Structures are given as structure tokens and as C-alpha cells.
């Protein structure tokens, strides 16, 4: 089930909320667990078994690791738990890629593996892995109640598209939490804003991309519009989802950590990755980069560590060469910044360094958005005017004109300025602006609903991860 | 702050609860009057499986999503609100490819596909050579869609209509006369809310076409019958505010005495199906709407004079105006029937007059025809 679906918004969510607040406190976790399993099963019922069994693998691995005293045995239990937890991800997500590439070497001797990816497998696998490792490191208490652990993994606000919530973030709140009116209201606000970002901006930008792809000729202008639209779309899609997850969490008394911090205002690539998909960045930092030695080691080892992290980051996003090259692309950019270019960027005027960062992020997303590495490279060369493409055609110009206000609104909405403007107006006349803000939110909800009814284009980009 | 949060939570809860409650209380609608289509109905899993053998639970759940979308309370109002938001709020030039200019709704059709047009022409040539080579006056008339009159004026992308006409002229069998109707029609000859032309504006064109077919035409005193308000298919799909049309049909004792026979279903009825005015698309009044094969019989027509019309939906409203000049008109829509099957169901007169009557939008539409 999608958050941005009428089924979720007007049937599932009200039903769960009503039941949640009329049931005695002791029943609420049970309700959330049942609701989460129903939520997951709605899209692909058979994948629920994989999700639940992976969660139980992590639970048992945590239990075993926590019980053992001997460090070697604890380590063995943790490694076994990590390996077993990774099995579904490796099989369903990477099995096809691995067999395809082995077949290139062994001349098609292996049967190609074509499996449908279970929704959200990359997210919940990483959550479970973080728990098992944290238990080993004694950074989190072992969860003895399997239902609580399953609830952590399957909790519907963050189950299928993150953010990657660590067990320690919500362990206490699973057992004991309180939903105040103010917390619930802040959750409502955050949820509606996220829904608006997703439905009114990301979907509209996706529509622009789709129209350009289907109707315009392949021209330099069309490729640049596609690149810009996708760069904005993926931000509003994913950050909108994160906002909805955070908002829903608050409605049920949970506090999830932030996942985005206006990444398109970053002044360097280093800065960008501190502000984009923060829960994934910090996961790779804490569970891959630091264990490899991080930056506190020799120069070549640091380079090796970075290379591993960025290869894995690329591969996490998709089992295809264009994602791996996308990861390597960031490895190179970050290496250049580490070599001293970051200091140069820091001294440049903010608009220049922000433009520099946005430019490379946009270039990266051309590779990311392609169906293959060849297509990605071909699109990049087309954007540079290579390959004999025309500069523009009437369709690309028409859609640029038609969607220019949407692009401008999206560009503005990717900055903190609208929020700052609202806050400064509110400080002048708090009551009035609060009511205006409230009316704005409810209008946003109505328009979002209308758009969901009107539009059929409603994919979540991050589901494929 | 606390009070304002309370108000927000109450309003949010009310909106969230109002929808499911009103959904339960309101009866499901069978058809969308605005979108001219049947709406998804509530089905149990067993009913769904019976109607869709082999489809699993995941497909059923996806169907439920469609059902909720279709039966959402205030659906049409919300679609109109969203369309207004897109056009006037976001400054978009069209809403889901539909635009409004000079009071008319039209749909963008910017790409000319030479391959599609050529395939269609091959089909028509094959039909002509296989079944109607002895026709006395074979004619191919091309009807421009509304974009021809609107798109350039409004700065909307469009293809080169002359290139389409040239392509047809080059591909068409030389024995068939090609009659592009670009200059014989104007925007006012079309409904504002529908892609089709308005029958009451077509009497002159019908006389001219009869001349081209070598058939004598007499000036008839038609009676206008009006149905209003008429909102055509574009109105519902565009969801943009527009003044409704009048659906006018031209009646005459000759037409009242004529009969329409459907060889596919074996049903016989009148030329105008007034019972369909209350259905999904009132334009179905003309010859019963989308029909694969029809025979129109005029007991007052010149004995033995026959016409075969290979047509799309535009033909439905024009053909009644041609009927007084013929004893029988056979109407074939190759989008729904193959010539082989049509020939098996009706007696085709190879020496009849022959009119291919197609709109630019159908000729340029991929996969429009069955063979």
C-alpha cells in the first residue's frame, strides 16, 4: 500500500487511528503490528513471509549474540546473523545481476534469475543488520519480545521506503510512549506537507519527464529538462515519503530522526551526502566505513575504505552497472574534495558552490535514472550536444513553458526560504498566521486528494530499493 | 497553540472520517456521466476471480484501489478542482493533454506517425481492391480534428496536416478520389465539448459529398430536434469549465421510415437511438454509437442505389444525411470488425458507391484497426 493512495489515506489510516486511540494502551502495539502486516501484505501478500522470516532471523541472531559471553562466539553469532539476514536481499535483488554477469564470462551456462523484488527489502534488511551489529557492540539492549522486534521491522510508516530507523531510536518508545495533542498535530502537519511534496510536486515532475520522454524528440533541451525534472522529482518523492513517515510516527508517539536537510543547498558533495538520505549515509558510516578503519588510517586505506563504501552505496540503490558507476562517480568527487578542493569550495561565494554541487548531483542522477549504463552515458553525451542531436523541438519547448511554474515552485520548495518566510510572518502575528497555515494545510490535503483521483501516475521511486 | 492544534486535529480527523462514512452511506455509481465510462464496482474476491480467471490476490487488491478511486465521494468535483489548479494555479497549458481555446475543448495530438498512416492506407487499398474495385465513384474523405483549427492559434504543438494529406494522397489507390475536408469545415462545425462534428452544420457538406459520389441529392426540409445540455467526451476527460453544447439531430419522414439493421446482433431499430441519450455518451444517438457493421435501409430511396461507407465515429452523424439518396447504405467500422467477417455477415455490393470517411486522429492512431 502506498501512503499516497486513497486506500491508505481515507480507509487504512483513519481505521488504524480510531482503533489505536480507543483501544487500551496494552493492545496498541498489537494493533500496530497487525496493521503493519496488513499494510505490507496489501501490495504483495506472498512477500510478507520473506519480511517476517528475515525479521525473525535478525531477532534470533540478536538473542543469541546477546546471550553469549565469549567474544569469539558472539562475533560468530553476529556474522552468521548478518549473513543469514542478507540472504533474501542478495537473492532477490542481486541474484539476477550476478547470474547475468557470470553468464557473460561463462557463456550463458547459468540459468538467468528473474525474481520480483520484495517491496522495501533493502530498507528492512539494513534495519535488521544495524540491530544485530548494535547488539554485538552492546550499543542496544537485546529485544526479547519477538512481537516488539517484528513491530520495529514492520512498522508501516517506515517499512517500505525508510528512513532507516535504528532499533535504539525507538526501542524505548515501543514499550512506553505518549501521544500528546501537540505531538499528534505536529505529525499531521508533517504528514500533509510530505503528501503534498509527493503528490503535487514529485508526481507532477514525473509527469513532465514522462511526457518529454514519450512525445518530444531526443534533443539537447529535452535531455536537460529530463535531468532537471528527475533531480527535483527524486528529492520531493523521497523527502516527501520521509516527511510522511516522520509525521505518521509522531501520530503514534514515535520520534524518527530526520532524513533530509535541504540537500540542494549543499556547498560541496561532502556536504550533500550529510544532508541527503541521512539515515543511509550514517548507516554506511557506522557499519562499513568506521569498521574498515574510517579516516584514522593511512592515506591508501582511507581511499580503499571510501571506494568500498561508495561501491556499496551505488549497489544498494540498484543491481545494475549504472548504479555502481553512480557510486564510483561520488567516490571520485569526494576524493577530489578530500584532496583539497573542499577548501576551495568553502571559500567560494555560496551561489557558486551551491551551483557546483547541484550540477554534479544532477549529472549523477542522469546515470541513476537511466535503464542501463549505456543509456546513461548516451544521455550525458547528448546533454553536451554530442551525437548530432538537435538543440530543441517544439514539444520540449512547449512542455518547458507549460511546466516552468512547476519547476520554479519545486526549486523554491527545495529551499528553507518558504518555511523561513512563514516563520517570520508568524512571529509578527502568531494567531492569524497559525490559522492561515492550518487552512493552507487543509487546502493542500484537498488538492492532494484531487490529484490522486485525477492522476494515475503515482510511483514511489525508492520502492525499487 | 494548544487550541489551534486541537482545531487542526479535529478538522483533519473529520476529513479523514467523512470519506469512508460517506462512501458507506452513498450507493455506488455504475457509470461516470462526466468521463463516459463504466465505474469499477465492489466485488468480493470470489466474484473478482470469477470475472477474471487466473488473477491472484495482488491483482484483486489493485482492483480494490481502482474501485475506491472510481467511487470516491465528490470525484467529479475534485477532478475539476485539480484541473483548475493545474491550469490557473500552476499555469500549465493543458490538463492531461486537454486544452481549452475559444470556448472549445481539444486534445493535443502533436505527432504524425508516417508508419501508422501508411499501414492504415494499405488496409484501405486492400479493402478497395478486394471488395469494391467495381465501385462507380470511390471517394476518400479526410476530416480534420479540432486541433487543425485551434492548435496553431493557441501555440499548442501540432503536426503538419498538409504532410498527412500528402501522405494519404501518395498512398491511396489512384482510382479512389481523395477529398481532404480542411477547407470545407470550420471550428464552428464541431461541438465545443466533444471531438465530433455537429450534424446540423453538415447538410451542405453532405450535399457536396453526394455530388462527389455521383449521387443525386435533393434539398430536404429537416426538422431539428434538440437535446441539452450536452457535455461531450472531452468535457469529462478535460474536467475544465466549459459551456455545454446542444445536441441537435435532423429528422425527416424519410429517415423516420428508414430502418437500421445490425447484422452482428440481428437487431433492427431506428436511425436515431433516442433511448441512448441517457447513456454514457449521448452522441450514441447517431446510429447507436460504436457499431462494427450496420445496414441502413431507406424504403423511399432510389431503387438499387447503394453506398458502402468505411468509417469511424464521425460517420455516424453524417451518414443519416446521405441516406435519402440511397436505398441502402452499408456501414463498416474496421476498428471493430475485419472485412472478411463483415463480408460473411452482410451482402457487399462491389459496384456500390464507396466512401471512406475518416478523421485525421483515427488515421494517425496506432493500432486503431483490426487488420
Count CB atoms within 10 A of the CB of residue B34: 18
Assign B361 a pLDDT band (cuts: 50, 70, 90): very high
**Cα A206 to Cα A369: distance, rounded to the nearest angstrom:** 12
Contact list, A452 vs chain B (CB under 8 Å): 69
Give the CA distances from residue B66 to residues B19, B54, B60, B213, in Å, rounded to whole numbers and listed in that order.
16, 19, 10, 49
Nearest alpha carbon to residue B363 among B325, B289, B327, B311: B311
Count CB atoms within 10 A of the CB of residue A186: 17
For B13, which residue in chain A has the nearest alpha carbon? A14
Is A411 an interface residue toward B (CB < 8 Å)? no
Paired strand residues for B308? B330, B354
For B93, which residue in chain A has the nearest alpha carbon? A402
CB within 8 Å of A112: residues ≥ 6 apart: A96, A99, A100, A103
Is A395 an interface residue toward B (CB < 8 Å)? yes
Is B137 an interface residue toward A (CB < 8 Å)? no
- pTM confidence score: 0.85
What cell numbers appear for A326 in the block?
553512480
The string of DSSP codes covering A325-341 is HHHHHHHHHHHHIIIII
Give the CA distances from residue B104 to residues B42, B154, B193, in Å, rounded to whole numbers and listed in that order.
36, 11, 6
Nearest alpha carbon to residue A249 among A168, A124, A121, A152: A152
**Cα B159 to Cα B177: distance, rounded to the nearest angstrom:** 24
Average pLDDT over residues B175-183: 95
Please state, rounded to an integer, the average pLDDT across all residues of chain B: 91
Give SS3 for B286: strand
Instruction: Report whether A190 contacts A246 (CB < 8 A).
Output: yes
Nearest alpha carbon to residue B371 among B330, B332, B331, B336: B336
**Cα A108 to Cα B74: distance, rounded to the nearest angstrom:** 56
For A45, which residue in chain B has the nearest alpha carbon? B58
**Cα B54 to Cα B57: distance, rounded to the nearest angstrom:** 10
Shortest CB distance from B94 goes to which of A402, A438, A445?
A: A402
Q: Cell numbers 453544447 correspond to what residue?
A: B245
Q: A450 and B68 in contact by Cβ < 8 A?
A: no
What cell numbers appear for A389 in the block?
542531436
The predicted structure's pLDDT at residue A458: 43
The predicted structure's pLDDT at residue A422: 84
Nearest alpha carbon to residue A229 among A247, A203, A248: A203
Count CB atoms within 10 A of the CB of residue B154: 16
The angle subtended at Cα A457 by Cα A366 and Cα A238, nearest 5°, is 55
The predicted structure's pLDDT at residue B371: 66
Query: A219-250 burial, b if ≥16 CB within 10 A, otherwise e?
Result: bbbbbbbbbbbbbbbbbbbbbbbbbbbbbbbb
Is the pLDDT score of B184 beyond 90? yes
Helices (H), A414-429: 417-428
pLDDT digits (tens, 9 = 90+) for A175-212: 989 999 999 999 999 999 999 999 999 999 999 999 89
Instruction: Report whether B68 contacts B74 (CB < 8 A).
Output: no
Instruction: Report whether B103 contacts B192 (CB < 8 A).
Output: yes
CB within 8 Å of A88: residues ≥ 6 apart: A50, A53, A54, A118, A121, A125
A 1-30 → B contacts, CB under 8 A: 5-7, 9-11, 13-15, 17-18
Give the CA distances from residue A320 to residues A88, A93, A105, in Å, rounded to whole numbers and listed in that order.
18, 10, 16
Give the H/E segment covering residue A34: helix A25-43
The predicted structure's pLDDT at residue A460: 47
Tell me how many residue pairs between chain A and chain B have CB atoms under 8 A apart: 123
Backbone angles phi, psi at A72, to 5 degrees: -65, -45
Give the H/E segment covering residue A379: helix A373-383
Instruction: Report whether B92 contacts B82 (CB < 8 A).
Output: no
**Cα A462 to Cα B17: distance, rounded to the nearest angstrom:** 29
**Cα B364 to Cα A65: distance, rounded to the nearest angstrom:** 67
* Distance to chain A for B17, nearest Cα, Å: 6
Query: B210-224 burial, b if ≥16 CB within 10 A, otherwise e?
Result: beebebebeebebee
Helices (H), A45-94: 47-67, 71-88
Give SS3 for A58: helix
pLDDT digits (tens, 9 = 90+) for A270-281: 999 999 999 999
**Cα B28 to Cα B105: distance, rounded to the nearest angstrom:** 29
Average pLDDT over residues B225-243: 90
Q: What is the mean pLDDT of each run of 10 residues along chain A (465 residues)?
A: 85 95 93 94 85 95 93 93 94 88 80 81 94 94 94 90 87 91 95 95 93 86 95 96 95 94 96 95 94 86 94 92 95 94 93 96 95 92 88 90 95 93 79 85 91 63 48
CB within 8 Å of A106: residues ≥ 6 apart: none
Average pLDDT over residues B219-237: 90
**Cα B49 to Cα B220: distance, rounded to the nearest angstrom:** 55
CB within 8 Å of A273: residues ≥ 6 apart: A281, A330, A334
Is the pLDDT score of B242 beyond 50? yes
Contact list, B7 vs chain A (CB under 8 Å): 438
| Cα dihedral A7, A9, A10, A11 sign | positive
Report ipTM for this prediction.
0.85
Is A458 an interface residue toward B (CB < 8 Å)? no
CB within 8 Å of A461: residues ≥ 6 apart: A202, A233, A234, A237, A238
**Cα B312 to Cα B333: distance, rounded to the nearest angstrom:** 6
Nearest alpha carbon to residue A58 among A27, A89, A37: A89
- Residues of A identified as active-site: 317
**Cα B97 to Cα A54: distance, rounded to the nearest angstrom:** 45
| Cα dihedral B155, B160, B161, B162 sign | positive
A 416-445 → B contacts, CB under 8 A: 431, 434-435, 438, 441-442, 445
Helices (H), A176-298: 181-196, 203-215, 220-251, 269-275, 278-284
Q: Cell numbers 493552507 correspond to what residue?
A: A440
What's the number of CA atoms in the CB half-sphere (13 Å) around residue B281?
22
Instruction: Report whether A113 contacts A96 (CB < 8 A).
Output: yes
Nearest alpha carbon to residue A36 among A123, A160, A125: A160
- A interface test, pick of B99, B157, B237, B364 with most A CB neighbours within 10 Å: B157
Paired strand residues for B227? B247
CB within 8 Å of A28: residues ≥ 6 apart: A20
Is A42 an interface residue toward B (CB < 8 Å)? yes
For B85, which residue in chain A has the nearest alpha carbon? A447
Amino acid at each position: 500500500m502506498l501512503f499516497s493512495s486513497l486506500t491508505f489515506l481515507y480507509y487504512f489510516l483513519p481505521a488504524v487511528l480510531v482503533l489505536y486511540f480507543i483501544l487500551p494502551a496494552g493492545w496498541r502495539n498489537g494493533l500496530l503490528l497487525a496493521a503493519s502486516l496488513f499494510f505490507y501484505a496489501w501490495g504483495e501478500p506472498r512477500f510478507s513471509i520473506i519480511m517476517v522470516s528475515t525479521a525473525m532471523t535478525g531477532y534470533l541472531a540478536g538473542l543469541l549474540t546477546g546471550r553469549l559471553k565469549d567474544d569469539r562466539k558472539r562475533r560468530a553469532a553476529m556474522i552468521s546473523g548478518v549473513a543469514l539476514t542478507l540472504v533474501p536481499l542478495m537473492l532477490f535483488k542481486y541474484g539476477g545481476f550476478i547470474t547475468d554477469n557470470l553468464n557473460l564470462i561463462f557463456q550463458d551456462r547459468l540459468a538467468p534469475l528473474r525474481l520480483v523484488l520484495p517491496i522495501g527489502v533493502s530498507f528492512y534488511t539494513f534495519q535488521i543488520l544495524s540491530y544485530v551489529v548494535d547488539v554485538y557492540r552492546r550499543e542496544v539492549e537485546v529485544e526479547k519480545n519477538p512481537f516488539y522486534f517484528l513491530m520495529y521491522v514492520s512498522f508501516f510508516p517506515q517499512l517500505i521506503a525508510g528512513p532507516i530507523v535504528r532499533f535504539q531510536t525507538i526501542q524505548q518508545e515501543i514499550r512506553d510512549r505518549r501521544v500528546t495533542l501537540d505531538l499528534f498535530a505536529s505529525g499531521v502537519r508533517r504528514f500533509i506537507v510530505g503528501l503534498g511534496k509527493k503528490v503535487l510536486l514529485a508526481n507532477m515532475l514525473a509527469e513532465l519527464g514522462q511526457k518529454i520522454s514519450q512525445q518530444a524528440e531526443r534533443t539537447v533541451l529535452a535531455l536537460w529538462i529530463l535531468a532537471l525534472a528527475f533531480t527535483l522529482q527524486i528529492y520531493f518523492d523521497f523527502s516527501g515519503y520521509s516527511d510522511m513517515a516522520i509525521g505518521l510516527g509522531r501520530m503514534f508517539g514515535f520520534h524518527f530522526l530526520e532524513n533530509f536537510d535541504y540537500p540542494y543547498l549543499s556547498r560541496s558533495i561532502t556536504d550533500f551526502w550529510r544532508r541527503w538520505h541521512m539515515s543511509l549515509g550514517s548507516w554506511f558510516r557506522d557499519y562499513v566505513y568506521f569498521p574498515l578503519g574510517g579516516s584514522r588510517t593511512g592515506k591508501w586505506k582511507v581511499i580503499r575504505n571510501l571506494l568500498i563504501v561508495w561501491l556499496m552505496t551505488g549497489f544498494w540503490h540498484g543491481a545494475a552497472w549504472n548504479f555502481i558507476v553512480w557510486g564510483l562517480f561520488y567516490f571520485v568527487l569526494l576524493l577530489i574534495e578530500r584532496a583539497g578542493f573542499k577548501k576551495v569550495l568553502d571559500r567560494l561565494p555560496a551561489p557558486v558552490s551551491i551551483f557546483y554541487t547541484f550540477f554534479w548531483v544532477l549529472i549523477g542522477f542522469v546515470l541513476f535514472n537511466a535503464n542501463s549504463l549505456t543509456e546513461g552515458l548516451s544521455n550525458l553525451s547528448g546533454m553536451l550536444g554530442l551525437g548530432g542531436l538537435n538543440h530543441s523541438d517544439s514539444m520540449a519547448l512547449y512542455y518547458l513553458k507549460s511546466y516552468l511554474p512547476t519547476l520554479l515552485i519545486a526549486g523554491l520548495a527545495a529551499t528553507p526560504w518558504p518555511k523561513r518566510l512563514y516563520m517570520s510572518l508568524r512571529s509578527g502575528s502568531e494567531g492569524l498566521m497559525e490559522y492561515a497555515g492550518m487552512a493552507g494545510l487543509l487546502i493542500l490535503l484537498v488538492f492532494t486528494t484531487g490529484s490522486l483521483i485525477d492522476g494515475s501516475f503515482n510511483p514511489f521511486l525508492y520502492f525499487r530499493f | 497553540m494548544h487550541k489551534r492544534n486541537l482545531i487542526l486535529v479535529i478538522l483533519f480527523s473529520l476529513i479523514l472520517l467523512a470519506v469512508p462514512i460517506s462512501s458507506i452511506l452513498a450507493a455506488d455509481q455504475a457509470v461516470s456521466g462526466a468521463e463516459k465510462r463504466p465505474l469499477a464496482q465492489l466485488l468480493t474476491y470470489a466474484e473478482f476471480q470469477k470475472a477474471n480467471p487466473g488473477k491472484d490476490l495482488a491483482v484483486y487488491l489493485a482492483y480494490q484501489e481502482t474501485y475506491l478511486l472510481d467511487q470516491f465521494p465528490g470525484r467529479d468535483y475534485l477532478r475539476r478542482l485539480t484541473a483548475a489548479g493545474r491550469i490557473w494555479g500552476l499555469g500549465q497549458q493543458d490538463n492531461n493533454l486537454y486544452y481549452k481555446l475559444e470556448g472549445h475543448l481539444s486534445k493535443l495530438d502533436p505527432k504524425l506517425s508516417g508508419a501508422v498512416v501508411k499501414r492504415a492506407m494499405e488496409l484501405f487499398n486492400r479493402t478497395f481492391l478486394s471488395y469494391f474495385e467495381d465501385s462507380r465513384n470511390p471517394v476518400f474523405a479526410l476530416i480534420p480534428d479540432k486541433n487543425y483549427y485551434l492548435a496553431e492559434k493557441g501555440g499548442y504543438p501540432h503536426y503538419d496536416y498538409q504532410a498527412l494529406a500528402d501522405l494519404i494522397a501518395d498512398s491511396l489507390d489512384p482510382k479512389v478520389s481523395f477529398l481532404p475536408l480542411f477547407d470545407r469545415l470550420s471550428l464552428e462545425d464541431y461541438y465545443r465539448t466533444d471531438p465530433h462534428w455537429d450534424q446540423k452544420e453538415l447538410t451542405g457538406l453532405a450535399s457536396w459529398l453526394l455530388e462527389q459520389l455521383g449521387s443525386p441529392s435533393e434539398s430536404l426540409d429537416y426538422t431539428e430536434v434538440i437535446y441539452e445540455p450536452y457535455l461531450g467526451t472531452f468535457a469529462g476527460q478535460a474536467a475544465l469549465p466549459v459551456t455545454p453544447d446542444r445536441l441537435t439531430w435532423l429528422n425527416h419522414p424519410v429517415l423516420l421510415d428508414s430502418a437500421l439493421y445490425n447484422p452482428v446482433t440481428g437487431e433492427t431499430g431506428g436511425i436515431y437511438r433516442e433511448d441512448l441519450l441517457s447513456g454514457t455518451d449521448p452522441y450514441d444517438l447517431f446510429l447507436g454509437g460504436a457499431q462494427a457493421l450496420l445496414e441502413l435501409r431507406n424504403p423511399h430511396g432510389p431503387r438499387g442505389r447503394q453506398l458502402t461507407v468505411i468509417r469511424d465515429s464521425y460517420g455516424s452523424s453524417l451518414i443519416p444525411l446521405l441516406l435519402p439518396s440511397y436505398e441502402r447504405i452499408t456501414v463498416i467500422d474496421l476498428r471493430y470488425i475485419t472485412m472478411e467477417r463483415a463480408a460473411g455477415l452482410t451482402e457487399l455490393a462491389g459496384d456500390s458507391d464507396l466512401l471512406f470517411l475518416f478523421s485525421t486522429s483515427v488515421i494517425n492512431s496506432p493500432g486503431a484497426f483490426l487488420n
